[in-house]
Amino acid sequence: MENLKYSEILQQNRAMSQNDNGATYKVTILANITTNSIKELLEYQLRINNLNPIVAFGNFDTIVQDSMNCKDSNLVIIFYDMLTIVNGLSDFFESLPDDFFITLKNKIFSEIDILFDNLKDCPSVIFNSFSSTAFISSFVFKNNLDLFVTDLNKYITEKTQNNVSFLSLDKIIAQLGINQAFDFRLFHSSKAPYTIAFLKKYVLAIEPIILRNTGKLKKALVFDCDNTLWKGIIGEQNADTLEMSNRTKDGSIFKRIQQLAVYLSRQGVIIGICSKNNESDIAEIFANHSDCILKDEHIIIKKINWDDKATNLRSIAKELNIGLDSIVFVDDSSFEINLIKEQLPEIVYLQVPNTLTEYPNSLLKLVYSYFNITINKDDIQKTEIYKQQFLRENVRNNYKSIDEYLASLGIVVSIFRNEKSQIARISQLTQKTNQFNLTTKRFTENQIATIIESSIHQVFSASITDKFGDNGLTLICILQTDNSNKSTAIIDTLLMSCRIIGRNIEFAFMDFLIQKLLEQNFKTIYAEYIPTNKNSQVESFYDNLGFTVLEKTKSVTKYSLNLLDYNFKKIDYITTEF
């Protein structure tokens, strides 16, 4: 995938989608940034692995709320990004007061708690580490942002829940460099900070988790011997001159390969040998060579003979009773590698790189992609100690439900009517809002100005703040009235920016609106839902509020409501100001 252009990936993904026949694998992405471009990249990589992908996205910046609806996902990926957290603050990060940091930190901790709890039955969750790398900060002096991020990450690592994988964003950024990983232009226009190059790396980074979860992991790692486990050819030179120790430059590289093989054998990976040699020569090395740390005890199966390697690998698979697709094969010879490529395409292989210094990392990359490496007992114990320590120190609130959580936010809805200074923003919202938009009518600034001036319209707008920042003007409602019949009103437009969905703000606003209309002696209100490709989430909005359906066709549903019948939702944790 790394060598393909974005457009090529789109194209090949689409072509592959014509014959999806693998198992369905559903990924849900919850994010407080725009990550939609990852969709096709992820689909592509899943299809390469013979899975039939469904990639779904939560709403923008409603990670906690959406985490309740992920029960049918095989994998949930969470992008809880510092960029958006910092962007939503009212002041420069370094100048914020200490108590604010504590409050903000506790808010995020609570969100993580609820999130992990909501997702505890999900087969697999990937949570990205918090990163301050995108922000230019001092290289030397302590700064609040770095400390803040360190604390958040500490919380996550100590929290460990066995279905959650914690992914280091900084490592991916480091592989590319900040300039290649971020596109601030697209962050400021569309809240999409990451480049395609980054998203490609990201997909490759999470691939092992997907392979692990779908039973596509490998079981055996089979090595050739000469120039693969040591430098030199045993049939041509004295065994003493084979290099596999720190005494020589190349020897130290092969020593690392052997160390890795020993480690893997302890992790339960089957280590095998497949080599064209005299069996006794090789046996002598594993038994008695003082530099050789890979010993017989680590090796489960050996095929040392002069038969071709395809035959030998086949019999290895047969004897171990594993599939050929469970084998990874390492050899230095192009001839052997090509033979395997042609005859046994199911086998993943690594050819020892010409530049020998790249060998350990190439092998490690393969190992981390295809084998299940668990941390050792000491690490697990250490985490346990941290966890207990943390619980003792932990004195903050634990929110038990979404409602309690929302209540803790201190949401304030400030409502304006016919506010001329907002014409530009109101028009923009009608142009841009697609999801929570009941009628999807688009208005230019001029049209909005005219509507505000007109005597038969009332334009309501609302800006939303909570104790962590200002979401700005994000809700619009245009009401149409009739000068000859003062008792009825029509909701011409009702929309809300997706960034505030999931906080019950729409209900608080409807309470307000109906109250206002009652005060103005209105009796009946009419409303419409006009379906588009994108607004199905508000399909039942008016039904849920108790409106009566007057007429329902494919292109519109018409409603009415006797205002006196309205059931006020009375959401006590949202303050409405007018």
Partner 1 sequence: MISTQDKIKNIMSIVFEVPQEHITETSSKDTLENWDSLRHLNLIMALEEEFDITIPDEEVDNLINLRLIELIIHDLKN
Per rule CB under 8 A, is residue 262 in the interface with partner 1? no
What is d(CA 358, CA 168) in angstroms, rounded to the nearest whole number?
Answer: 22
The answer to whether 6 contacts partner 1 (rule: CB under 8 A) is yes
Instruction: Please report, as residue ranges, which positions from 194 to 213 form the binding site for partner 1 (by CB under 8 A).
Output: 195-196
Based on the shown chain and the rule CB under 8 A, indicate whether residue 14 belongs to the binding site for partner 1: yes
Spatial distance between the Cα atoms of 209 and 218, rounded to a whole number of angstroms: 13
* Binder among 36, 69, 267, 376 for partner 1 (CB under 8 A): 36
Give the residue with the Cβ less far from partner 1, 176 or 299.
Answer: 176
37 lines the binding site for partner 1 (CB under 8 A): yes
Asked if 10 is part of the footprint of partner 1 (rule: CB under 8 A), the reply reads: yes
Q: Work out the number of other CB atoms within 10 angstroms of the CB of residue 236.
A: 8
Among the listed residues 71, 341, 387, 432, the single contact to partner 1 using CB under 8 A: 432
Q: Identify the bridge partners of residue 417 per DSSP, sorted by sequence position.
A: 460
Dihedral sign for Cα atoms in the order 569, 570, 576, 578: positive
**Within its chain, how far is the Cα of 569 from the centroid?**
34
Tell whether residue 189 is a contact of partner 1 (CB under 8 A): yes
**Best CA proximity match to 503, nearest among 436, 563, 568, 439:** 436
Q: Considering the rule CB under 8 A, would residue 535 count as an interface residue with partner 1?
A: no
Q: Which position among 34, 129, 227, 422 is part of the footprint of partner 1 (CB under 8 A)?
A: 34
Cα–Cα dist 292/225, whole Å: 12
> Residue from 2, 3, 7, 392 that binds partner 1 (CB under 8 A)?
7
State the amino acid at position 374 in one-letter form.
T
Residue 532 lies near partner 1 (rule: CB under 8 A) = no
> What strand order describes the sheet that includes 75-79?
51-60, 23-31, 75-79, 125-128, 164-167
Q: Which stretch binds partner 1 (CB under 8 A): 3-11, 319-327, 333-341, 373-381?
A: 3-11
Residue spans of alpha helices (H) in 412-480: 423-432, 445-453
Task: Tell me the C-alpha to C-alpha distance, in Å, between residue 144 and each of 90, 141, 252.
Answer: 15, 10, 43
- Number of residues this chain uses to bind partner 1 (CB under 8 A): 22
Please state, in angstroms and rounded to a whole number, the distance separating the CA atoms of residues 3 and 11: 14
Least distance to partner 1 from the beta carbon of 88, Å?
Answer: 20
Q: How far is residue 109's CA from residue 397's CA, in Å, rounded to a whole number? A: 10
DSSP code for 350: E
190 contacts partner 1 (rule: CB under 8 A): yes
Interaction between residue 192 and partner 1 (CB under 8 A): yes
Stretch that binds partner 1, among 192-200, 390-398, 415-423, 500-508 (CB under 8 A): 192-200
Q: How far is the CB of 196 from partner 1 (least distance, A)?
A: 5
Q: How far is the CB of 416 from partner 1 (least distance, A)?
A: 26
> Which residues bind to partner 1, rule: CB under 8 A?
5-7, 10-11, 14, 34, 36-37, 40, 185-186, 188-190, 192, 195-196, 432, 434, 533-534
